[in-house]
Structure 1
Amino acid sequence: MVRFKNRWLLVEFIHVPEQPKPNTAPAQPPALDSKKIWAALKQSILKHFGEIGWGAVSTSLTVKYYSPTTRVCIIRVARDHHQIAWAGATLLSQIDGAKFIPHVVHLSGTIKHTQLAAIKHDKIVIARLRAKAAQATKNGIAPPDTHDAYLERSAAEINALQDQ
């Protein structure tokens, strides 16, 4: 029996807000999901590496997890062609018409190490969100703190991922 070897990419999508028009509120980042990210990766790989590049990664490229709160994504791809997927993610500039900067946080050969890195990264992002909330509280705005519940829920979702 032959085991297929994979690489796991942990990618954070940082939204680049457009310049708001005077006297308007800044626009909220668009809602993303796994299907939109996969389609954007496909278009990026086709654009930069052509049909041969897409043919190399198409059978193994999957988006296994996406968190809309922290904008962290776990992508699985075959070990032999992970450089194409990594480059395609890095060269990605737009998803569904909105500008994003993809940041590859972690690369691993096992899903377990990627899960650990994702949970650690989630804690860092939540700490940043808490700092912003504390600043807003000082300014008179007191948002509810739902971050502990999110961390528990996301850790459970990430740990439930299987290497398939």
Structure 2
Amino acid sequence: MVRFKNRWLLVELIPVGEQQGNPTRLEAKQIWAALRESIQKYFGDVGWGSVSHSLTVKYFSPTTSICIIRVARDHHRVARGGVTLLDSIEGIRIVPYVIDISGTIKHAQLSAIEHNRKVIAQYRARAQTSASYQDSYDDYLEASTNEIQALRD
């Protein structure tokens, strides 16, 4: 039996302009559609044909604007190119930032959880709250960690 080898892209979609600081109202299927358009625009039908069977947005958090994208190992450069060339999704201007590329979902999960903790710490620093302060971010961190850990290949 042959195993399909994938790459997992951890991407932060940083909102620009009036959406900055507010949770985005995007969904995984909108991100997938924008990726499809970007890949078709910049890499043509051949580029889209190479990644279309394996490209999947497995996770998206509107609070921290991170998503986990799965793509076949042989064509992950096309997917990454499509991600970095995105400038807007559904009219929301964004700047994509590829945080990590990993070979297993486990490493993508660990990177996502670590990144979520850093972003929440930045939110708390802006609000000037102490680390021991209980707020909705604690609930979010627990819920997002459980959701990320529940992802399966």
Q: Report TM bin, short chain.
A: over 0.9
Runs (4+) of structure 1 moved beyond 4 Å? Answer: 26-30
Alpha carbons 1:17, 1:27 under 8 Å: kept: no
| 1:1-164 correspondence runs (5 A) | 1-18=1-18, 30-134=24-128, 145-163=135-153
User: What is the identity, as a one-letter code, of the residue corresponding to 1:46?
Assistant: Q
TM value normalised by structure 1 = 0.86
Question: Quick one: percent identity of the two aligned structures?
Answer: 61
1:14-44 CA distance string (max 9 Å, x none)? 001159xxxxxx8956410101100000000
| Contact 1:119–1:155 (Cα < 8 Å) also in 2 | yes
Q: 2 CA distance for matches of 1:29 and 1:96? A: 15
What is the root-mean-square deviation of aligned Cα atoms in Å? 1.8
Counterpart amino acid of residue 26 in structure 2: L
Instruction: Please list every run of 5 or more consecutive structure 2 residues that lacks an aligned counterpart in the other structure.
Output: none
Gaps of 5+ in 1: 20-25, 136-143
Cα displacement (A) at 1:145: 2.1
TM-score (norm 2): 0.92
Q: What letter matches 2:125 in structure 1? A: A
Amino acid aligned to 2:146: A
